[in-house]
Amino acid sequence: MEAIKTEKLVKKYKDKTAVKGLELTVYQGELYGLLGVNGAGKSTTIKMLSCLTQPTSGEAWVMGRSIKNEAEQVKAIMNVSPQETAVAAKLSVRENLEFIARIYGCNKKESKEKARKMIEDFSMEEIAKCRAATLSGGWQRRLSIAMALITQPDVLFLDEPTLGLDVLARRELWKYIEELKGKMTIILTTHYLEEAESLCDRIGIMARGALCAEGTAEELKTKANTNDFEEAFITIAGENTK
């Protein structure tokens, strides 16, 4: 089943077209990597699919629900971990998690239980009572991702999830994302190409607001006639950015 489908999706900002007629299909349970150089249209695409901004034209469906006409239903079944760390500064780690669980409809008992589970899964026991503002950048990012996962969304958008994390924390997060595979549909944007290659079932490369290539990491390497994924990305993205 299709988890995400876009049809001629366009987003214009005044005289600039950020996304040009995007045709994208992501299947349920898939971990789909969306790659592209800066300004390729990845973030705008995610913003439209997560109902943060309305498309100028075209349509998209998340789990069969229109992002234009059924935004409220779409918001209830998906969650986002934005590129910027997105935590409430004066709330503790536990309070942040419980807060998100509750605005997505959990009762007090459920939200406490889910927060406890996320704290355990993300090894945040020692900082559970600390206010988010006092945490290091790495811990804040980890909390931000846990806040996106606590609602157990059908579709999860991870926008540059490992940005600013050290190597160990990044690898730990990769492990966690791997474990989520098949349990939910994940759209991952990243500039770390090894991350996309290692984690994603399929990868789409965007350039100038459109999808210019799509496939598994191996298929993209074959397409670019190289054994190195970074080379493949440079070849495909470079050709389409000229």
Partner 1 sequence: MRTITFASRNTKEITRDILTLIFGIAFPLILLLLLSAINKAIPRGYGPTNFQIQYLAPGITVFGLSFLSLFSSMLIAKDRTTGFVLRLFTSPLRPSEFILGYTMPMIPIALTQSTVCYLCALFLGLPFSANLLAAVAVNIPIAIVFIALGLMFGSVLSEKAVGGICGALLTNLSAWFSNIWFDTSMVGGAFETVSNILPFSHAVKAAQAAAAGDFGAIFPELWWVVAYAVVLTAAAVAVFAVKLKKN
Interface positions with partner 1 (CB under 8 A) = 47, 50-54, 72, 75-76, 78-80, 82-91, 95, 99-100, 102-105, 131, 144, 147-148
**H or E element in which residue 75 lies:** helix 71-77
Nearest distance in Å: CB 91, partner 1 = 6
Beta carbon nearer to partner 1, 65 or 221: 65
Nearest distance in Å: CB 229, partner 1 = 29
Nearest distance in Å: CB 88, partner 1 = 6
Pair of tokens at residue 43: 């973030």
Beta carbon nearer to partner 1, 51 or 220: 51
Nearest distance in Å: CB 19, partner 1 = 15
In angstroms, the Cα distances linking 121 to 27, 46, 117, 143, 149 are 26, 26, 6, 11, 11
Beta carbon nearer to partner 1, 84 or 120: 84
Pair of tokens at residue 37: 């150089």
Pair of tokens at residue 187: 């759209």
CA dist., res. 105 & res. 91, Å (int):
19
CA dist., res. 173 & res. 162, Å (int):
8
List all residues 6 or more positions away from 127 whose beta carbon is below 8 Å from its beta carbon: 93, 135, 139
Beta carbon nearer to partner 1, 130 or 234: 130
Q: Please report the beta strands in the chain, taking only residues with DSSP state E, as ranges in sequence order.
A: 2-13, 16-27, 31-36, 57-62, 65-66, 78-81, 155-159, 185-189, 202-207, 210-215
Nearest distance in Å: CB 74, partner 1 = 9
Nearest distance in Å: CB 200, partner 1 = 22
Contact 95, 131 (CB under 8 A): no
Contact 62, 232 (CB under 8 A): no
Beta carbon nearer to partner 1, 85 or 240: 85
Nearest distance in Å: CB 241, partner 1 = 27
Q: Which residues pair with 9 in a beta bridge?
A: 22
Beta carbon nearer to partner 1, 102 or 117: 102
